[in-house]
């Protein structure tokens, strides 16, 4: 019998449907200059010190005297130690609590294999749709909590076993402050629940009241599994390498046993590149890349606000969440903007029913394209309104 729970995945209000429409539009109108403000991919290449390290890693694979096979079930020990030394030096983690993998998109749902199949899983609406869709595919019970007037997840009164939190948020673009995150950790400890903390945009955090890690919150080690990635901060979107912390207070045996039977380790070349991202020369170059993205999203945030849109995010994240100014659905607005001014935005409905009436804009593209797209928006609203 096939798993018919996969049919619960929304195929209409999905990234794939928007992507297919854009592809068809470009095919039918090859002469039109289409600009994407919806890009979730990066526009900066991998920096030279990382490339050089990966070139050497490839050469190592050409000689059996230096050959490396499987990348280790949990990752190369030297990479896991570098993660602790550079990203978590103050928390006292050991390499046994670090797992290296091939992308947070996989990690955020593979981690569900640690929990009972009858667990009640809670996430925001709107939310990153992969959480929702993968839970459906795994036959898990999914529940949603809305956002409040400050675009923060509303803490429920009833019990849930697993809570997905993305902070800084995709798609909303804001981040949880210490006060908000403390309340969620208190809820999880009180309810004997677990938080899957998707922290892939940590490199974008600059606000002093936003923690760089959930483990800055007392007792978080009892309930939180933090996920991070090299995708955005090191341009590894095409290479795939990620990692997460699974504290010994939560588990020391089960997930290791699961991983041995389900995973042979991330690519050796990718892990060597990830290790090189911690070199001082790499870190400086990557910092400049992040600053460029932040300047871009700050420009976009200011521009949409000046045009009269209601905007949130864009401070600690490469995304802004923009309220549609017209009384049409988010997909209708997506189609209209693409057809009228040849700009791609992401319809809010992709992220859940409460995303209706909004759209997501990304600062991960180039500033040149962002300026051109903003000029088109400005002309459009000056002429039509």
Instruction: Give domain limits for the chain.
Output: 4-46+282-384, 48-278
Per-residue pLDDT tens over the stretch 200-223:
999 999 999 999 999 999 999 999
DSSP structural state of residue 157: S
Which CATH number, 2.60.130.10, 3.90.1150.10, 3.40.50.2300, 3.40.50.720, labels domain 4-46+282-384? 3.90.1150.10
Alpha-carbon torsion, ordered 304, 361, 342, 354, to 10 deg: -100
Structure tokens at 76: 């190369």
- Answer yes or no: CATH 3.10.129.10 is held by domain 48-278: no
Please determine whether the domains at 4-46+282-384 and 48-278 fall in the same fold group of CATH: no
Q: Collapsing DSSP states into helix, strand and coil, what is residue 208?
A: coil
Per-residue pLDDT tens over the stretch 119-158:
999 999 999 999 999 898 889 999 999 999 999 999 999 9
Are 47 and 54 in contact, with CB atoms under 8 Å apart? no
Does the pLDDT of residue 14 top 80, yes or no?
A: no
Per-residue pLDDT tens over the stretch 42-58:
999 999 999 999 999 99
Match 């693409």 to its residue by tokens.
338
CA separation for the pair 122, 161 (Å, rounded) = 8
| Among the listed residues 368, 381, 366, the one whose alpha carbon sits nearest the alpha carbon of residue 304 | 381
CA separation for the pair 354, 195 (Å, rounded) = 22
Are 346 and 359 in contact, with CB atoms under 8 Å apart? yes
């Amino acid at each position: 019998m096939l798993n018919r729970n996969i049919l619960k995945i929304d195929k209409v209000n999905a990234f794939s449907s928007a992507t297919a429409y854009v592809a068809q539009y470009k095919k039918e109108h090859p002469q039109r200059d289409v600009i994407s403000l919806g890009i979730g991919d990066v526009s900066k290449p991998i920096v030279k010190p990382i490339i050089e390290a990966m070139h050497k890693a490839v050469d190592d694979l050409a000689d059996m005297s230096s050959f490396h096979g499987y990348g280790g079930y949990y990752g190369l020990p030297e990479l896991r130690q570098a993660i602790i030394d550079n990203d978590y030096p103050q928390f006292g983690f050991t390499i046994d609590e670090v797992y290296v993998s091939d992308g947070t998109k996989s990690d955020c749902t593979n981690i569900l294999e640690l929990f009972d199949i009858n667990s009640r899983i809670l996430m925001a609406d709107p939310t990153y749709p992969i959480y929702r869709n993968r839970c459906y595919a795994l036959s898990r019970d999914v529940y949603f909590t809305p956002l409040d007037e400050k675009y923060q997840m509303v803490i429920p009164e009833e019990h849930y076993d697993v809570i997905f939190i993305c902070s800084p948020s995709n798609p909303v673009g804001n981040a949880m402050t210490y006060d908000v995150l403390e309340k969620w950790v208190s809820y999880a400890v009180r309810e004997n629940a677990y938080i899957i903390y998707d922290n892939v945009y940590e490199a974008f955090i600059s606000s002093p009241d936003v923690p760089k890690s959930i483990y800055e919150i007392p007792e978080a080690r009892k309930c939180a599994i933090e996920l991070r990635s090299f995708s955005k901060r090191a341009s590894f979107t095409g290479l795939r390498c990620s990692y997460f912390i699974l504290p010994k207070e939560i588990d020391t045996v089960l997930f290791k046993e699961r991983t041995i039977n389900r995973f042979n380790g991330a690519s050796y070349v990718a892990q060597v590149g990830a290790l090189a991202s911690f070199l001082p020369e790499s870190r400086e170059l990557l910092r400049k890349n992040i600053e460029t993205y932040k300047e871009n999203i700050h420009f976009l945030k200011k521009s949409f606000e000046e045009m009269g849109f209601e905007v949130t995010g864009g401070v600690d994240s490469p995304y802004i969440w923009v309220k549609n100014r017209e009384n049409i659905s988010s997909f209708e607005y997506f189609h209209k903007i693409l057809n009228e001014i040849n700009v791609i935005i992401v319809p809010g409905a992709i992220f859940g029913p409460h995303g209706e009436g909004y759209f997501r804009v990304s600062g991960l593209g180039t500033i040149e394209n962002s300026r051109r797209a903003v000029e088109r928006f400005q002309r459009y609203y000056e002429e039509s309104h």
